Structure formats: structure tokens, C-alpha cells
Amino acid sequence: MPVREAEVGDVEEICALIEEHARYEGNDTLALDRAEMTKHLFGPEPKAWVLIAEPPESNAVAGMAFCSWNFSTWEGRPGIWLDDLYVRPEHRRHGLGNELLTALRARTDGRVEWDMQAGNERAAAFYAQLGAQPVPGWIRYRWSPAS
């Protein structure tokens, strides 16, 4: 199976994938602290978790789903917040994104939710193919700490 749980030894690849995704989306300056990421993912109180996609023919890290648990009070059950889904360009169109999302769907009977950058038509078509729908009538807000 090409999807597995991330391990502490994957932190370098996880950070590299996030940084590659940022560059793909136009952020050329993102540089993550590997020690901080290790603490957040594998410390005594993990804040998130990652699934790793590997092509069947190798142990290369091809992509990931970076997630955390959320809870819907209206459904009365936990769900998954997908913060980052990224498959390296050379591994796209081989079903790894579908494998990652299918693995997430199998982990909860609640909602799996994520944001998508406006105008990303290829991603919108991919998500629609899975049966995912945009959430009408809702606008996401972000309250960040003061700089």
C-alpha cells in the first residue's frame, strides 16, 4: 500500500514537501524549523499528524497529507482537517492523491475538510471527481497573533 503513517525519521521530507508546496503556490521564502516540526508532530503532545504516500515501486516520499483532528458540534463527532495535501509533480497522475484522501476518509465517520486556493481548477476537478463539494455560504476567517 503506498500510504503509511509518518515516523519521526520523516520530518526532513515532511518539511521539504511543505516548502516545495509553498514554492509551487508562490511563497519562495518559507523555511521550516525541523526541530519545532518534530515537537509538533512527534512530541509528548502532538498537534498534527501526517500520512506519507510512496510509489509502489520505491520507498521514495512522493507526497503527504498533513492533518489534525477537529470536532463538529452540529454532527456531534470528530472529523479531520486536512491542512496540506501535496504530491510532488513527478509522482502526480498515478493515484497517490486519491490514496491519501481515501486513507483519511477511512479514519473518520465525520467530515474531512480543507481549503483550496481560489482559481485552482485542476484541484477543483480532482476533488469533484472524489465527490467532494465546496461549502456554500461559508467564508473562512483567520485571526492571527499580532506581528
- Measured in whole angstroms, how far is the alpha carbon of residue 121 from the centre of its chain? 18
Tell me how far CA of residue 64 lies from CA of 2, 32, 100, in angstroms.
11, 16, 7
Strands laid side by side in the 49-53 sheet: 3-5, 49-53, 63-72, 77-87, 112-114
pLDDT in tens, the chain (147 residues): 589 999 999 999 999 999 999 999 899 999 999 999 999 999 999 999 999 999 888 889 999 999 999 999 999 999 999 999 999 999 998 899 999 999 999 999 999 999 988 888 988 998 999 899 988 888 888 788 875
Strand-pair category, 49-53 with 3-5: antiparallel
Distance in angstroms (rounded) separating the CA atoms of residues 129 and 123: 10
- Measured in whole angstroms, how far is the alpha carbon of residue 119 from the centre of its chain? 19
- pLDDT score of 49: 98
Distance in angstroms (rounded) separating the CA atoms of residues 88 and 61: 9
CATH of domain 3-130: 3.40.630.30
C-alpha cell at 147: 506581528
- pLDDT score of 118: 86
- What global pTM score does this model have? 0.90
Domain boundaries, the chain: 3-130
- pLDDT score of 21: 94
